[in-house]
Every structure is written in C-alpha cells, then in structure tokens.
Chain A
Amino acid sequence: MALTFANVSYTYSEGLPYAQRALKDVSCEVERGDLAVILGPTGSGKSTLLRVAAGLLAPEVGTVLIDGEPVQGGATARAGGVGLVFQSPETQLFAETVLDDIAFGPRNQGLSEESARQHAVQALETVGLDPSQFAERSPFGLSGGEARRVALAGVLAMSPRYLLLDEPTAGLDGSGRRDLAAALAAARMHSGVIVVTHDAEEFLPHADLALVLSAGDCTFSGPADELIQRPAALADAGIRPPAVLETMIRAQALGASFRNLTLDPQDAAALLVAAREARA
C-alpha cells in the first residue's frame, strides 16, 4: 500500500518557445502512515509534483500509482485515494457556512446529506475547531489560521488515503502554525501524508521520508534521518537547515566532532557538551 512515483517528468507549455521543464525523472514511494516531506526552494517543482501526484496533471513520462492503481484526478479524489490541500486553500472556500463548505467533498463522493455532515463535523474536530462554535459561521469571517484549518478539514472529510499538502504553514503566524501542525498530526493517524515546503524547520523533525528537489531534479530521496546526517544535500539545493542542525554544522566547522547529527535540541546539547569534553 503506497503512493508510488516512477521516473516522472513534466514540462509546462510543451512545444512552445517558453516551455518549462518542471520535473525531471523523479521517483519515490510513500507508504500509508508515513510522513514524507518534500523540500525545495521556490520554483523547484514542488507544487507540480503534488499536482501530478493527485492526477491533476498527467506526467509527460513515468507513472503515478496509488495503491497499485493509476491516479485519475477527480475520480481518484472521489474514491478517497488522494486529497490535495492547495497552497493558501482558504481562498477556495465558497459556501455559506463552514460545515456546508466542508461537506462539499463528501457530497461529491456520493454520501447522503446526513453522513456528509457527520464526516464534516468529525473533520472539524480533527483540525481542532469546536463544531458547536464554528459549524454555522461564515467561512469568510474566519482568521487566517482558522480558515486554513477549515480548508484542510474540507479535504480530510473525504477520508483520503494519501493527504498531499502544499506549503501548509505559509503565511500563518506562530499559533496558526502550531494549531495546523497539531491538526496534521491527527490526520496522520488515518492517511499517508506528503508535505511540500521550502521550510525545513517545520516538518523535517517529524518526517519519516525526505525528498529534495532542485530545479526539477530530485537530488536526495531517502529516510529523513539520512538527510539530517547529510546536511550538504540541503545546502546544495539552497534550503536553510533547521536551526539546531545549523548550530551543529557550525560547531563542526569550529572543530567539534559528532557521532551523529540531530534535530532534537536536548540531544544536540548533550552532543555538544560531549564533543567539548572529548576535546579537553
């Protein structure tokens, strides 16, 4: 059971003078229950990768399989295969009430009005918004973080086996980020999650798998811990390492030597002290 990318390439405006190769020969496999983080600077092809994964763009070369089946855009979404949360998804809310908006997806899946609403209420709870407070509110009067979580709930309500998120924390303040991270942790209980971001700080510490994209090329693909041990793969792609990791790299440059690198502040502190004692 996995979402599989095999040798996927994609080119925008193919055949035109301004054709743009956005993905080159990308392969990866994300199991259900995994959190995969795809890192890359702006323009590296992250959003394109997600659109291809959701079957909204057909790859020029290669295949995308969801649990062994070829992905097919809206049909796969209705079948609960993939759910894609776009960048700034709050700009896509449209219904009169929050609950009605969230129930839109389940209704399209053919659920009865009653069970669509049930799914919607559950999804609201999953993202940490109290249904009794939010269900009947207008989606246009919410704060940025709340609206973002309502949009996430709109996708979660469709119970996708794989949840794809494009820059989910972009433009949120500190508390918005924390609430969203908690909502994602809850979502992870039911789905494989693929998060695309240019910010390694946010999701790398919780990731099982990591992929690094650089101008459409996949320059790293493997367990997240392997990426942490090879921070040059981040730097080469122009991604700033998480602060703890950066501190350790700078200590290394000053002569400290570590058995391994870590993102955990407590572990890092212990390693720094040990390195200092070893030198003395």
Chain B
Amino acid sequence: MRPPVPFGQYVPIESPVHRLESRAKMGLIVGYTALLFGSDGFEGLIVGALLAALAIAISRVPWRLPLRGLRAIAFLLAFTLLAHALRWNPATVTLIRIGPLGIDPDGLATGSFFALRIVLLVVGTSLLTLTTSPVQLTDGLERIMHPLELLRVPVGELAMMMTIALRFIPTTAEEAEKVIVAQSSRGARFDEGGLFTRARAYIPVLVPLFVNLFRRADELATAMEARCYRGGAGRTRLHESRMRAMDWATMLAGMSFMFAAALVL
C-alpha cells in the first residue's frame, strides 16, 4: 500500500528555492518557458537543462520527484518522438527499416528535440509546485491577477475558490485512500475482472466519498458564513508575503538571462 500522495507534491523543507517569493518563481518559470520555446537548437535546451538541474540541486528536493511527472506524459513523449522519426518509404538513408517504414536521423533529431523540450518544461515547472505551498501559490496568482479587478473580474473570489479547491484536494485524496483501504479490508477487489466489473467495484468507494465531501463542503460553507465571510472584497492577509530585494534580484537576473539566451540560441 502506498502512502497518500501529498498533492502538488509540495515538499515542506527549507531551501533558498523554497524561500523565494512565489511571484518571483512564476516570473522565472515564464523566462524558462521562453528559453525552451524561443531557442531553435539543442543549445537552448541544454542551457535550460543545466538551469533546471541547478535549481533542483539548490532546492534539495529529491531528484526522483520532479522526474516523477514524466510517467504521466510517457505516452505523449513516445508519440512526439515517433511522429517525427517515423517515415513512410523514406528517400533519405534510413537508420532502421521495417518494411516500408523507416527511421531517419533527421526525423529522430527533430523528434528528440521536441520530446526533450516537453521533458524540460514538465520537470522545470513541477519544481514550482514542489517548492511552493498551495496557499503561497494561489496567493501569488491573486496578486498577479490583481490588475484585472479594474475590469470587474472577481479576482478575490477566484483566488478563494482556488484556495478552497486546493485545500480540498489532499483531503479528498486522503479520504479516497482511506475508503479504498476500508472496503478492501471488507474483501472488496479493485483489480480483477473486466472494465465493467472494475468500474462497479468503485461504487462502494465513490458513494461514501461524495456523501462525506458534500457534508464537509456544507460544514465549511456554514463555518465561513458564521465567521462573516462576504466575498473577497476588502479581505486582508495575516501573513503578507512581500517581494524582497533578493526576490526581485533573482527574478530579474534569471528572467533577463533566459530571455537573452532564447534570442541568441
């Protein structure tokens, strides 16, 4: 039995990357994305890979965590690689040939380039959620979207919704795990039979999960009303997170380096 997944995989440890303000990290991610997509050769990707590796090393997050996200996109990667590499009746000299199908070096190189770009994007951005708590993350997003309030976008409400949703995801995951374990200790089998049998096997998990979730949501709404929550307007924060000189410096230096690299490479 695996322990519950801490959602967003936030790893609560101390490091310079953890201490960096969430908005600064988001700025760096923007620069990083620009570097990956702005450069049109492997050089840009190599610089990106080095930067990501450096950031992971500084963050003291175990290496396998940022890499874990790749499992989910393994199919996408394989597809990207093959879509570029496979040629029907290639005229050029081919690496491998199976019947009319062949793989040619140029296609393989292009495929690798696009696949590596996705890998780096996933690994780099997952470092944001690995080193930033969900609350800091929504807080940062709310601040960034703040100007939209002028256009009457309910930024406060949106942020509150996001905070609550994020708050509920780990609880729900934990609860699902609990109910699955409880029902399997009553002999339920989740990994046998065809698709239909398996889907049916989850009814004893889904029903209590929804019942409990609605009950909890209802309690939360009541509790929020009892404490006079009336939308986001005029809400203040207990821990006002600020961009310090160090955050500005890191963000601006990192962003300008990556934008420059994107243009040059």
Contact = CB atoms under 8 A, between A and B. Distances in A.
Interface of A: 12-13, 15-18, 51, 54, 56-58, 73-74, 77-78, 82-84, 86, 89, 91-95, 104-105, 108-109, 140, 154-155, 158
A56 B60 contact: no
A158 B184 contact: no
A17 B179 contact: no
B207 A94 contact: yes
Contact of B62 (A17, A82, A109): A17
A86 B11 CA distance: 28
Contact of A91 (B60, B181, B208): B208
A154 B1 contact: no
A228 to B, nearest CB: 32
Contacts, number: 76
Contact of B185 (A58, A73, A109): A73
B146 interface: no
B18 to A, nearest CB: 11
Chain A binding site: helix, strand, loop or mixed by DSSP? Answer: mixed
A77 B185 contact: yes
A56 B2 CA distance: 10
A17 B13 contact: yes
A12 B9 CA distance: 15
Interface string B93-112: 00000000000000000000
Contacts of B3: 12-13
B199 interface: no
A250 B11 CA distance: 47
B212 interface: yes
Contacts of A77: 184-187
B1 A17 contact: no
A94 B208 contact: yes
Given A86-B182, A94-B203, A155-B186, A18 B11 contact: yes
B178 A86 contact: yes
A139 to B, nearest CB: 9
A100 B62 CA distance: 47
Interface string B1-35: 10100000001110000000000000000000000
Interface centre among B203, B204, B205 (most CB of A within 10 A): B204
A108 B188 contact: yes
Given A17-B11, A57-B1, A74 B185 contact: yes
A40 to B, nearest CB: 20
A154 B207 CA distance: 16
A78 B188 CA distance: 9
Contact of A94 (B184, B187, B189, B204): B204
A179 B204 CA distance: 27
A93 B183 CA distance: 9
Interface of B: 1, 3, 11-13, 60, 62, 178-179, 181-189, 203-205, 207-208, 211-212
Contact of A92 (B1, B60, B182, B203): B182
Contact of B182 (A16, A73, A89, A109): A89
A78 B187 contact: yes
A154 B211 CA distance: 19
A15 B64 CA distance: 11
B7 to A, nearest CB: 14
Contacts of A15: 62
Contacts of A74: 184-185, 187-189
A86 B185 CA distance: 10
A18 B204 CA distance: 32
Given A74-B184, A91-B208, A94-B204, A108 B189 contact: yes
18 contacts: A12-B3, A15-B62, A17-B62, A18-B12, A57-B1, A74-B184, A74-B187, A74-B188, A77-B184, A83-B185, A86-B178, A91-B211, A91-B212, A92-B183, A94-B203, A104-B183, A108-B188, A158-B186
B208 A92 contact: yes
Nearest to A20: B3
B76 to A, nearest CB: 27
A105 B186 contact: yes
Given A51-B181, A77-B184, A108-B187, 9 more contacts: A16-B62, A17-B60, A56-B1, A74-B187, A86-B178, A95-B204, A108-B186, A109-B187, A154-B186
A164 to B, nearest CB: 9
B12 A73 contact: no
Contacts of B13: 17-18
